[in-house]
Structure 1
Amino acid sequence: MKSDSRPPSALTIAGSDSGGGAGIQADLKTFAAHGVHGLSAIAALTAQHTRGVTAVEVPPTAFLAAQIDACFEDFRIEAVKLGMLATAGVIETVAGALDARGGTRLVLDPVMIATSGAKLLADDALAALRQRLLPGCQVLTPNLPEAELLLGWRIPSLEAMHDACAALRAMGAEAVLLKGGHLEDGGARVVDLFADASGVRAFEHPRLDVDAHGTGCTLASAIAARLALGLETGEACARATDYVHRALLGGYRPGRGDVMVLDHFGAAP
């Protein structure tokens, strides 16, 4: 392969999901579905299946830094997706590694609570996330409970979602994609709000009556993949929400329960 034909690479720094539906595993499938070479630095290990998280182990931060260094030393990394970063020490390590490179397209999915309700972020990590990673990220992709934790106030309505987007951008995010799936009385359609310096746009999709696993990871990694391919931020977010909707429509149940995982490849653009 000629050097000028090498595909763009995207790096995920996140947690591993032993059940294969979320985290690093979902990110790498999403990158591959978009034709982007996927790299990974594992920031946490979870014992997990579609019904919940049973244990979490955080590797030494020196080893996390070594993984990130190895990726940047050999690959043309066009975008980085951040997922589960469980402790303040992990966040500081990641922030330091990215600060040393500069100019990286960064998509931050502030993973705090698993769909099952398991807590995935230590108490001391929230302030570190606000101070070290949120400022300067190209896209922040919280769901409503995550945005409420970041801001310290409830988001009960679409109007409050608009206020939350403005407040999150004021904290330093270049753009925010605020996911509206958890909105109380959200109706028959899910409304996600995208906000950047040019204003606010709404991305709407029919609400699906499914219990799904890995949607947030997949959305953030789809945005990172499209940024790596050269799309501008708003278009990358719009197409990524469409991709997740298609992946949900094709979702399947690999475990013993009713929780679905996404069809990453059937939904490929």
Structure 2
Amino acid sequence: MKTVLTIAGSDSSGGAGIQADIKTITMHGLYATSTITALTAQNTLGVTAILECTPEVLKEQLDCIFTDIYPDAVKIGMVANSRLIEVIAERLLHYQAKNIVLDPVMVATSGARLLSEEAQLTLREVLMPIAQVITPNIPEASLLSGEHITDKASMLTAAKKIAQDYSGAILLKGGHLIEDATDLLFANQQASWFVGQRILTDNTHGTGCTLSSAIACHLAKGESLANSIQQAKAYLSQALAYGLNLGQGSGPMNHMFALK
């Protein structure tokens, strides 16, 4: 059985982070392992507390996985500080990890920054260079590129600017644009657009986690990056379209829509 390692924070409400990743990986028929970077107290209304993992325990978690159940792909989500970012990069390089998908969790849906400028710089310098693909949303791509993104033309401009300092592929997610949910893949100086239908729902908690995990699943199976993205988008759309409505705020999607 193929395996995927998710490196991310724990979401007590189950809609995002480690919990969303494990659900996604399981529903793709793969075995999920995890390395938890932080515990969060949160629900559909917001985050009330965060307890970060120590670098020492984070390293031990990674060592335990790679020396026993070596992953076919790695998904990286929330990493709260520079030291944790450095530990992850060092261990992934040490074990020659493959198929690394980095979801640069930098900006909350509310617009609040989740990473300090120091941690953001460390992310760019030590973690982005070893990822096969990064999956920023529009606010995150704006931070990475310095570009104000309002449409597809500025999405492409931003991707090209990010590519000046990063040799891997960039999947710039267009979900924050009003008209549709079309994403841009910029790889090897070539642009490819993935058209997606906008699902009319307020329950979008964990969409970024879910998409990046699904991409990692398809890469673990040996599929091309383009096909992995296409299949991951289809899975995400179905999970959103199911219409799960839990909680009082921005609720989760139904990762298990295919179960009867």
| TM-score bin (small chain) | over 0.9
CA contact (8 A) 1:151 1:167 kept: yes
1:72 aligns with 2:63: no
Matched residue SS, 1:216: helix
1:193 aligns with 2:196: no
Distance 2:197 2:71 in 1: 34
- CA offset at residue 169 of structure 1? 2.5
Aligned residue in 2 for 1:34: 28
TM norm structure 2:
0.94
1:240 aligns with 2:232: yes
Aligned residue in 1 for 2:131: 137
Which residue, 6, 11, 14 being the options, matches 2:5?
Answer: 11
What does residue range 36-75 of structure 1 map to in structure 2 within 5 Å? 36-75=30-69
1:252 aligns with 2:244: yes
- CA offset at residue 209 of structure 1? 2.2
CA RMSD of aligned residues (A): 1.5
Which residue, 101, 106, 111 being the options, matches 2:95?
Answer: 101
Residue segments in structure 2 that go unaligned for 5+ positions in a row? none
Aligned residue in 2 for 1:3: none
Which residue, 173, 195, 198 being the options, matches 1:207?
Answer: 198
Distance 2:29 2:61 in 1: 22
Distance 1:114 1:15 in 2: 14
Residue segments in structure 1 that go unaligned for 5+ positions in a row? 1-6
- CA offset at residue 113 of structure 1? 2.4
Amino acid across the alignment from 2:84: V
- CA offset at residue 174 of structure 1? 1.6
Amino acid across the alignment from 1:252: L
CA contact (8 A) 2:74 2:97 kept: no
- CA offset at residue 26 of structure 1? 0.2
CA contact (8 A) 1:14 1:82 kept: yes
Aligned residue in 1 for 2:218: 226
- CA offset at residue 103 of structure 1? 4.5
CA contact (8 A) 2:132 2:169 kept: yes
Aligned residue in 2 for 1:4: none
Runs of 4+ in 1 over 3 A off after TM superposition: 116-119
Q: How many corresponding residue pairs?
A: 258
Distance 2:111 2:243 in 1: 21
Matched residue SS, 1:56: strand
TM norm structure 1:
0.91
CA contact (8 A) 1:137 1:172 kept: no
Which residue, 260, 265, 268 being the options, matches 2:256?
Answer: 265
Distance 1:73 1:30 in 2: 24
Distance 1:76 1:130 in 2: 25
Change (3 A) 1:146 1:198: closer
Amino acid across the alignment from 2:19: Q
* Higher mean C-alpha displacement, 160-169 vs 30-39: 160-169
Identity of aligned residues (%): 44
Matched residue SS, 1:111: coil
Matched residue SS, 1:206: coil
Matched residue SS, 1:176: strand
Aligned residue in 2 for 1:165: 159
Amino acid across the alignment from 2:145: L
CA contact (8 A) 2:73 2:97 kept: no
Which residue, 208, 218, 222 being the options, matches 1:216?
Answer: 208
